[in-house]
Amino acid sequence: MKMSLKKEMFDRKNILVVGDVMLDKYWFGDSERISPEAPVPIVKMDRVDQRLGGAGNVALNIANLGVRTSLLAVVGNDEAGSCIRELLERGNITSLLESDSTVSTTVKLRVVARNQQLLRCDFESPLREESLIQHLNVYKKEINGADGIVFSDYAKGGLSHIALMIKEANRLGIPVFIDPKGSNYDKYENATVITPNKKELADVVGKWTNEEQLTEHAQNLRNSLNIKYLLLTRSEEGMTLFSDSGKLTIPTEAKEVYDVSGAGDTVIASLSAAFCAGFSIEDSIVFANVAAGIVVGKVGTAPVTFDEIQKSISSNRFA
């Protein structure tokens, strides 16, 4: 794998991220005793943090690599929605957010003590069809000029029209990258790359007992849906790419794992950025694997920078 890793390659590209955006809230504190009211830890809070989550975290990871990034999603007309807009502006991400006063912006609240997540509370509401139609109309306008489309599916309803969106991208010859969710992958037909983890893939094709079964299941799924590449993320086992060329497994880069929150976001973000910058699919996976190894060593959803990846990539991978 010999490719020059230059930031200028990323600076010239445009990627549109579409999907389920959310606000990740963190309450950080310390816990030294158990509550007398119930067998749960008491956490003394000392810091609150708010970050882009879901498709927002994907967009932030792409933007941090220098790629010109836009985010299309639906949020509520509420405090969380306003916070997401501010975070997008701060992250140099073009906001294409659609506001719907009848819904609540999705929020994930995590309580963290001593680098361990103790509790997560989710706040969300279903999206209206009227908002999704407008969402689709904006997409058809904004897709022109994009070098790649990333769909971040968190099963919150923001990608109800994804089949039509993929069709439009294919018509224009724009590569499509999907972080999937749920057991129905028919809606992802004709995608360029999908990146399920082990559980997500097993929910679709069934469990496997050996590598031969895994390869058969993955290739059958890929071929039946006309998906060019299926990248299976396998935690401590690394990543495996399935394509017309066969199977390629790359071992994990993670040294220490503190938090896997957002690791899937980092994979799809760095993979799409590298591929759109001109990397081969194999080099794009190496790039994404290094990025994922960095992010799991951080607490919570946190983006990876180009400099961090460049520092971690050994000289025998990239010239």
User: Which sequence positions are flagged as catalytic?
Assistant: 265
Report d(CA 199, CA 227) in Å as an integer: 19
3-class state of residue 305 by DSSP: coil
Are the C-beta atoms of 292 and 267 separated by less than 8 Å?
A: yes
> Which residue type is seen at 280?
S
Could you give the residue ranges of the DSSP H alpha helices within 3-66? 8-11, 55-63
Q: Distance between CA 147 and CA 209 in Å, rounded?
A: 39
CA angle, 299 as apex, 297 and 300 as ends, to 5°?
120
36-59 b/e with 16+ CB inside 10 Å = b? Answer: eeeeebebeeeeeebbbbbbbbbb
φ and ψ at residue 67, rounded to 5 degrees: -75, 140
**Measured between alpha carbons, how far is residue 75 from residues 50, 70, 182, 309 in Å?**
16, 15, 21, 32
Which positions ≥6 away from 295 have C-beta within 8 Å? Answer: 262, 263, 266, 302, 303, 304
What letter would DSSP give residue 313? S
Gap between the Cα atoms of 77 and 99, Å rounded = 6
- The burial class, CB within 10 Å (0-12 / 13-18 / 19+), for 319 is exposed
